[in-house]
Amino acid sequence: FIYLDYNATAPVRPEAVAATTASLAAVGNASSVHTAGRDAASTVDQARERVAALLGCLPNELIFTSGATEANNLAIRSAATHGRSLVVSAVEHPAVSEAAAAVANSVAGKVYTIGVHRDGTLRLDELEEALAASPVLVSVMAANNETGVLNNLDLVVRLAHEAGALVHSDATQLVGRLPIDLSKLRLDLLSLSGHKFGAPQGVGALFARRGTVPAIRPLAYGGGHERGRRPGTLNVPGIAGLGAAAQAARRDLEQEAARIKVLRDRFETEVMTAVPGTRRNGHPDQRLPGVSSLTFDGLPADALLAAMPGLAASEGSACSSGALEPSHVLLAMGLSRDEADCTIRFSLGHATTADDIDRAVRCVTYATHLVRAALHPNTT
């Protein structure tokens, strides 16, 4: 079995398995004042420091959440101000775009959506136009989940701050895969999800820069956990795993990114040579090292994936409630519906090996022959 779906979720790193397991074997609510509670609280403190070290922020600028979906909602809901607009890019994850739409609706604001170029990079002309409306918040993802395309966040921050807007970035796909330093990159809010870089599923964090974000307004009513910003008993085992994954990712980041890029580039070159009519989506360089979005001319992604049961990858389509919609990301980049339907996202990560790539190339090549023979018998 070859796993090339790291953008959906990554295998849990051994360090995270160990930290989570140790925490599961202990008892203690991080809010309790007795020894067991204090031990749980110190596990949380240590994890907070490790995540802060990965991001270059202060530990108390982090709020632990159930993942990026919650962090995105918390950020957008907290920043929204009555009557002021929000700006998002056209290729955001629904946890940003849907949250922005709902929040704008409830505070009578407007959402401006900025388009992208054919290579998936942001249309800065449209950002500048939207900034003229004095939005309260700009939310632009750090790296796209379907194509890996990276945004120039330095520039977005500069332009948005000049216009008096706060900046949030959904950095779910970037954190733990490429370096980020919030002491230099002056984002106001950032979301992450642990399971994309080797923590267990169901734990993440929101970074809210001290002093710049007016107030974090909790999404639920409850206790005063996370300094009143996220009520509910902390997920100590998950948070312990998040901290351990952050520490391991930080230690291995540069080496891992370089190794993964070599594998990804080889995968693309070999597939594109073996399968004529294959095109790569997204900016060739300005993208995550481990992502490859490939369009196989005339070969539907669902048929191809069914023809390679030993390989896990994703369609360039989001499957919601069983109905396959063409990917809004690929459509925003100008691909046709047919092209989007023929697109597969392969995503590599920390445990991907050279042997995985050799086998994946063979699997993909074989699947394209099978599907082409079935669908276009006269051309083979």
Q: Which stretches of the chain bind ligand PMP, using CB under 6 A? A: 67-69, 93, 95, 141, 145, 170, 172-173, 193, 195, 204
Q: How far is the CB of 172 from ligand PMP (least distance, A)?
A: 4
DSSP for 73-95, written as a single string: HHHHHHH--TT--EEEETT--HH
Q: How far is the CB of 169 from ligand PMP (least distance, A)?
A: 10
Kindly tell me which of 173 and 235 has the beta carbon lying closer to ligand PMP. 173
The owner of tokens 């309790």 is 32
Residue (of 257, 246, 250) closest to 348 by Cα position? 257
Cα 81–chain centre separation? 26
Kindly tell me which of 141 and 348 has the beta carbon lying closer to ligand PMP. 141
Residue type, 91: V
d(CA 345, CA 6): 10
Distances (CA, A) of 356 to 266, 291, 351: 12, 15, 10
Kindly tell me which of 41 and 203 has the beta carbon lying closer to ligand PMP. 203
Q: How far is the CB of 298 from ligand PMP (least distance, A)?
A: 28
Q: How far is the CB of 191 from ligand PMP (least distance, A)?
A: 7
Check residue 187 and report its DSSP letter: -
Long-range contacts of 264-267 (CB under 8 A, 24+ apart): 264/289, 264/290, 264/291, 264/292, 264/348, 266/357, 267/292, 267/346, 267/348, 267/357, 267/360, 267/361
Catalytic member of 57, 319, 342, 363 = 319
Kindly tell me which of 94 and 222 has the beta carbon lying closer to ligand PMP. 94
What is the radius of gyration, based on Cα positions, of the chain? 21
Is residue 363 part of the annotated active site? The answer reads no
Kindly tell me which of 172 and 343 has the beta carbon lying closer to ligand PMP. 172
Is 263 within 8 Å of 348 (Cβ atoms)? yes
Q: How far is the CB of 52 from ligand PMP (least distance, A)?
A: 20
Is 12 within 8 Å of 198 (Cβ atoms)? yes
| CB-nearest residue to ligand PMP | 67
How many other β-carbons are positioned within 10 Å of the β-carbon of residue 164?
Answer: 10
Edge-to-edge strand ranges of the sheet holding 314-315: 278-281, 291-296, 343-347, 314-315
Residue (of 217, 213, 215, 218) closest to 187 by Cα position? 213
Residue (of 49, 123, 111, 64) closest to 84 by Cα position? 111
d(CA 261, CA 269): 12
d(CA 344, CA 341): 8
Kindly tell me which of 70 and 341 has the beta carbon lying closer to ligand PMP. 70
Kindly tell me which of 319 and 373 has the beta carbon lying closer to ligand PMP. 319
Strands 343-347 and 314-315: antiparallel
Q: How far is the CB of 74 from ligand PMP (least distance, A)?
A: 11
Cα 69–chain centre separation? 10
Is 19 within 8 Å of 205 (Cβ atoms)? no
Q: Which two tokens stand for residue 60?
A: 């108390």
Kindly tell me which of 72 and 368 has the beta carbon lying closer to ligand PMP. 72
Q: How far is the CB of 35 from ligand PMP (least distance, A)?
A: 33
Q: How far is the CB of 67 from ligand PMP (least distance, A)?
A: 3
Write out the catalytic residue numbers. Answer: 319
